[in-house]
A and B are shown apart, each in its own frame.
Chain A
């Protein structure tokens, strides 16, 4: 090592070669010299050498003293170097770096500010929540970084700070904060989220119900129903109903899933009970079916309509007889179609019935279908019933132009399952031949050819 090289090392002006030499000299001296070696590398002109230095910041030279040395470099680096070092300091996880990170939030470079915001997620605390919440409304990459940091930020008071921010924020920010609470799985904030489910703003209500669908427990269903009832018909109501359904479906015993909803339903007034009927349908179960059947039979058109909607949401095929009856004899044509489509949906569901039973019901639905769209829907749903009889059911449609494309897709989907295809090679071979000749979808043709060659 030449003296001149050492001097250049001292002023952090190294070529790649000098970096190597400088590092070697430092290593000779003492293991404590790792930090100056890293500092040199961070200032190197070569990108790969700098990457080595950043790797050390992330993983080596532990302790606050080293962190302070690295932090001190921030003002000396160009913007991309600052951003990279901030990211590395975040991974390093030493909160000693937090004050410097806060400083960098004032950078004139967006990339640097975004990196500082990202770093706060790992290095910040509850005191940084207001700043991060404000940044949710920033432009560009800072916004996404703020959202990520608010999800990652740890500490005992963070969720309380988030809830506190929600109280005085505009609706748009509330929506973002609710998503953050959901991503944090912040169950301790469920009371606040339930309150938001009654907000005057529809977007806030929807966001709150979606989060409740992820986090709430059966005991929260009565309160969730208040939110559901406040939801406007359409997508908002749809989401609210699904949220309640998700909570019920998390109950491990299938027989108990409807119980909390039914108990809450009983406590509602008559009008609200009608409004909640479709939700009962989404959850299903024998006790709910009794209520729904009564509603369908009711002469009050509102009750009847809600009952039909409920049964059309049913999660299994236990209501097939009722759906068949409705599809045949419901006076209102749109509701008749709704019932037929529900029948097609539940017919193929894997709900414990044999393949043969499922196919019989699907064929029944086909016999009741009056339009090509519905028939195509039947052919599409057939792909869920993995049996050779299904192939035999679908194969004739390959030759009918109105159904050929959907039939091709279903045949290929059935052929995908090797355990079905291999024992019935000859039949699949014939059907796939037709698919290759008929399908207009290159992806379907490609798959058909692969399956014919015995590939997956």
Chain B
């Protein structure tokens, strides 16, 4: 593999991004043979196997953070493991590494795991943190194909990503017959917290079942906080006012009052 044969790229890994004039340590150069051996070990890696066998891959992943060529070489090699019959533990290990250095290139193979009970979570472990928009698209596209817990997991990951492009997809789940899925979508929209999410949540307040009311109220409160942080005070206040009625539980009315106080103390 080029990155360890030439050493050119490895030199890049030692370039420090110094702050405050502090000297930084050079990343230790990954040893090519050791990395190859570690990938061999990964084929039979399972719970109880000596983790030190994989350390060269750990080191290479760390070195890849500041070495684009190394990253380009390593990522597909890791992703390829996900298509093999490697153990759950081995694939978990790979997902943890792709969480750190994965790009759009790894998204398709990770997306394939979203419907797999054993691997869905660790696929999201990578996809939730990969900044590429393709990762969000893959999560979004998986929604119609999933149900139950796996779907809830994906909805949650979209919320964590605060993916504006997913608002309509999430909004369509607000009236899902499965109250858990509807509640998850509400929370994810709350996390997203933009005006569109606020409109979607507000629109379902009248028709929402009692079962999802707590999730809806919380999502609206979270949305209002995010709108307020984004300078959309009037929209936030409208939400707080909507939650201040006697029909709301006292805890929610208290929260709405608190929100109004925060809004009032905030200059336009």
Asked whether the complex places CB atoms of A and B closer than 8 A, the reply is yes
Partner of A23, one of B246, B250, B261, B266: B261
Judge whether B265 and A31 touch: CB under 8 Å. Answer: yes
Chain B contact residues: helix, strand, loop or mixed: helix
- Is the interface on chain A under 10, 10 to 19, 20 to 34, or 35 or more residues? 20 to 34
The smallest beta-carbon distance between A353 and chain B, in angstroms, is 40
Q: Show 17 A/B contacts (Cβ-Cβ < 8 Å), sorted by A.
A: A16-B246, A17-B244, A19-B257, A20-B244, A20-B245, A20-B257, A21-B241, A21-B244, A24-B240, A24-B260, A27-B237, A27-B240, A31-B267, A48-B254, A49-B254, A52-B258, A61-B265
On whether the beta carbons of B264 and A23 are closer than 8 Å, the reply is: yes
The reply to whether B237 and A52 contact each other, CB–CB distance below 8 Å, is: no
A387 at interface (Cβ–Cβ under 8 A)? Answer: no
Tell me the smallest distance from the CB of A57 to a CB of chain B, in Å.
11
The residue of chain B having its C-beta at the shortest distance from the C-beta of A60 within the complex is: B265
Q: Residue B263 at the A interface, CB < 8 A?
A: yes
Distance (whole angstroms) from the CB of A23 to the closest CB of chain B:
5
Q: Does B268 lie within 8 Å of A56, measured CB to CB? A: no
Q: Is B256 located at the chain interface by the 8 A CB criterion? A: yes
Q: Decide if A41 is an interface residue (CB 8 Å cutoff).
A: yes
Q: Chain B residues with Cβ under 8 A from A28's Cβ?
A: 237
The 5 closest A-B pairs by CB, nearest first: A20-B244, A34-B264, A27-B264, A24-B241, A23-B260
Is A158's CB within 8 Å of the partner chain B? Answer: no
A interface residues, Cβ below 8 angstroms from B: 16-17, 19-21, 23-24, 26-28, 31, 33-34, 37-38, 41, 48-49, 52, 56, 60-61
CA A19 to CA B250, docked complex, whole Å: 12
A31 touches B240 (CB 8 A): no
Report which of B240, B241, B264 forms a contact with A37, defined as CB distance below 8 A: B264
Interface residues of chain B, those whose CB is within 8 Å of chain A, are: 237, 240-241, 244-246, 250, 253-254, 256-258, 260-261, 263-268
Most chain-A Cβ atoms within 10 A of its Cβ — which of B237, B265, B268? B265
Bound Cα distance A60, B256 (Å): 17
B261 contacts which chain A residues (CB < 8 A)? 23, 34, 37-38, 41, 52, 56, 60
Contact status A48-B250, CB under 8 Å: yes
Known contacts A20-B241, A20-B260, A52-B257; 6 further A-B pairs (Cβ under 8 A): A19-B257, A24-B240, A37-B264, A41-B261, A60-B265, A61-B265
Chain B residues with Cβ below 8 Å from A52 are 254, 257-258, 261
Cβ–Cβ contact B257 & A27, under 8 A: no
B266–A17 CB distance below 8 A = no
Query: Distance (Å) between the CB of B173 and the closest chain A CB?
Result: 30
Measured between beta carbons, the chain B residues less than 8 angstroms from A31 are: 264-268
A31 to B246 Cα, complex, angstroms: 25
Contact A27 B260 (CB under 8 A): yes
CB pair B244 A24 closer than 8 Å:
yes
Chain B residues near A60 (CB, 8 Å)?
261, 265
